[in-house]
Chains A and B, each alone.
Chain A
């Protein structure tokens, strides 16, 4: 089983596209406290109706793992970035990256360009995974748009790696 750390976009998109249950059943999903408490609270279905996301059942059944970083750890990670050049992330994404640095068994699944770039910038490109690959590895096939593809993921990893080589984005 893949141990995946997911960002808010993933939780929302997986609900919107209707594969959240399958995703949870086939992976060990970890969610950061900020994502859980503030960011992944609802989604809009195909008819644009607002639907709430309730993960309490999955948490109580230990199908989901809630993880958190301390503010001190977050600050340490933040201090690695040169904020004039690094991609700007919100606290949920920074918490995810902080947890990822600490828990070496986790892989980060995100489709956010800035978050993928930051992952590569920190020298952790192999710790990220695209949705296309994550689903394929679990035998799930979905017709997905470009932003979930491996090609898309690699494109932004490359940009982050280039920034790292050029000495941009980190202090």
Chain B
């Protein structure tokens, strides 16, 4: 029994380490082991692992401890769609963190019984149906379904999470891409690079939404950039979808037309309008071309001007405030589970990726207090 359990744990540990793209030496160092051989003998089932070592390795590998103890095979794998093919350890690590977040989120939705009312419908169209005009029509239709209002970027993440069960994680990923998406056993999910400027994050969210909706239409390989770095057709469709979704035609026209003076509009106005819609000036300009309000050549010239482009991030016209890594809904459900004794404080801390000592400070940022009694129940007139 002991031997077979050691072998099982060792096998799982090895799988988890490989999945993160880490070497024995790297993990041994994180664990504080004197040599990599200690970890090697645990992985080969020769040395019994201690409970605290298992807990620490589970943290390093972003896995639940039960994964290492279960004889059952992991459920069928599902691809995480990135825009560029990469097998770097960093990307593997972000991917694992992303999946772990989604698993935790789904677990708490299950525990709390709080599942979003609707789900996204994957597109059933064939590949041949897709053209830029078709994609724009789809975006227009989706804008109505999602009821994003006049400034879609301001509400997109919240609507996707609260109404359509899309799990959105914002992770600091440096230069490892703008985002990714997946459709796992936990439902649809989007990963956004929190290191990018706010308008870029909005665009990524809308862009990844297209990939979620078309997950049954295009193959993973069709999304990747070419070896010369050019965007694939699918990526161009995703950009077009994002642009149309975030820049509703009538709203853009309403903002744009009153600012025209003697057939011209100042660049400052463009930057301001882009800020209002939570998109880049570049995205706005292409939308203006599409609306036939600006010539394509003029837009190209402006976009290519580095001095004008450098104005973008300097002007804080956007209402966008710094958003947190986890959606508010995720934190609220976890808090609820902790308050009702469905998850322990230690588990709450694990889900929020903090130490348990940091829980009071973390909660105070959300106006919550774990020492308050929230158990009061209000009688309703419905059974």
Out of A91, A95, A159, name the residue touching B341 (CB < 8 Å).
A159
Interface membership of chain B positions 348-373, coded 1 if the CB is closer than 8 angstroms to chain A and 0 otherwise? 01100001110001000000000101
Given A38-B55, A116-B341, 17 new contacts (CB under 8 A): A8-B356, A9-B346, A38-B56, A68-B51, A75-B5, A84-B110, A87-B342, A87-B343, A88-B107, A89-B343, A89-B347, A90-B344, A90-B350, A91-B54, A93-B346, A94-B65, A112-B344
Whether B356 contacts A12 by the Cβ 8 Å rule is: yes
Offer 21 A-B interface pairs, CB within 8 angstroms, sorted by A.
A33-B52, A34-B52, A39-B356, A68-B50, A70-B48, A72-B2, A72-B5, A87-B344, A88-B344, A89-B343, A89-B346, A90-B55, A90-B346, A90-B349, A91-B65, A112-B345, A113-B339, A113-B340, A113-B344, A114-B345, A146-B373
CB within 8 Å of B: which of A91-115? 91-95, 112-115
Out of A38, A75, A88, A116, name the residue touching B342 (CB < 8 Å).
A88
Distance of B74 from chain A, by nearest CB (Å)? 15
Q: Which of B1, B9, B69 gathers most chain A CB within 10 Å?
A: B69
Consensus secondary structure, chain A interface: helix
CB within 8 Å of B: which of A134-171? 145-147, 156, 159
Whether A37 contacts B52 by the Cβ 8 Å rule is: yes
Q: Which of B2, B355, B357, B373 gathers most chain A CB within 10 Å?
A: B357
Distance of B91 from chain A, by nearest CB (Å)? 28
Task: Given A34-B52, A42-B357, A83-B66, answer yes or no on A114-B371 (Cβ-Cβ < 8 Å).
Answer: no
Whether A12 contacts B48 by the Cβ 8 Å rule is: no
B contact residues, total (Cβ < 8 Å) = 38
Across chains A and B, the number of contacting residue pairs, with CB separation under 8 Å, is 109
CB within 8 Å of B: which of A22-77? 32-34, 36-39, 42-44, 48, 68-72, 74-75
B54 neighbours in A (Cβ, 8 Å):
71, 91
CA–CA, A89 to B50, complex, Å?
18
Whether B357 contacts A44 by the Cβ 8 Å rule is: yes
A88 neighbours in B (Cβ, 8 Å):
107, 111, 337, 342-344, 347
CA–CA, A88 to B51, complex, Å?
17
Task: Given A9-B356, A70-B51, A88-B107, answer yes or no on A146-B371 (Cβ-Cβ < 8 Å).
Answer: yes
A32 neighbours in B (Cβ, 8 Å):
51
Distance of A92 from chain B, by nearest CB (Å)? 6
A contact residues, total (Cβ < 8 Å) = 44
B357 neighbours in A (Cβ, 8 Å):
12, 42-44
CA–CA, A81 to B206, complex, Å?
41
B343 neighbours in A (Cβ, 8 Å):
87-89, 114
CA–CA, A113 to B361, complex, Å?
20
Q: Which of A12, A32, A43, A87 gathers most chain B CB within 10 Å?
A: A87
Out of A36, A71, A145, name the residue touching B69 (CB < 8 Å).
A71
Question: Is B217 at the interface (CB under 8 A from chain A)?
Answer: no
Distance of A7 from chain B, by nearest CB (Å)? 8
Question: Is B294 at the interface (CB under 8 A from chain A)?
Answer: no
CA–CA, A141 to B33, complex, Å?
43
Out of A12, A78, A93, name the residue touching B344 (CB < 8 Å).
A93
B171 neighbours in A (Cβ, 8 Å):
none
A89 neighbours in B (Cβ, 8 Å):
343-344, 346-347
Whether A113 contacts B338 by the Cβ 8 Å rule is: yes
A43 neighbours in B (Cβ, 8 Å):
357
Whether A33 contacts B50 by the Cβ 8 Å rule is: yes
Question: Is B58 at the interface (CB under 8 A from chain A)?
Answer: yes
Whether B338 contacts A78 by the Cβ 8 Å rule is: no
Question: Is B289 at the interface (CB under 8 A from chain A)?
Answer: no
Q: Which of A32, A71, A84 gathers most chain B CB within 10 Å?
A: A71
CA–CA, A72 to B69, complex, Å?
9
Out of A8, A34, A116, A117, name the residue touching B51 (CB < 8 Å).
A34
Task: Given A39-B346, A91-B55, A92-B55, answer yes or no on A71-B5 (Cβ-Cβ < 8 Å).
Answer: yes
Distance of A77 from chain B, by nearest CB (Å)? 11
Whether B344 contacts A91 by the Cβ 8 Å rule is: no
Out of A33, A72, A114, name the residue touching B347 (CB < 8 Å).
A114
Q: Which of B346, B349, B361, B371 gathers most chain A CB within 10 Å?
A: B346
Question: Is B299 at the interface (CB under 8 A from chain A)?
Answer: no
Out of B50, B111, B345, B356, name the residue touching A71 (CB < 8 Å).
B50
Whether B66 contacts A113 by the Cβ 8 Å rule is: no
CA–CA, A74 to B111, complex, Å?
23
Whether B356 contacts A156 by the Cβ 8 Å rule is: no
Distance of B32 from chain A, by nearest CB (Å)? 10
Whether B344 contacts A71 by the Cβ 8 Å rule is: no
CB-nearest residue of chain A relative to B342?
A87
Distance of B1 from chain A, by nearest CB (Å)? 7
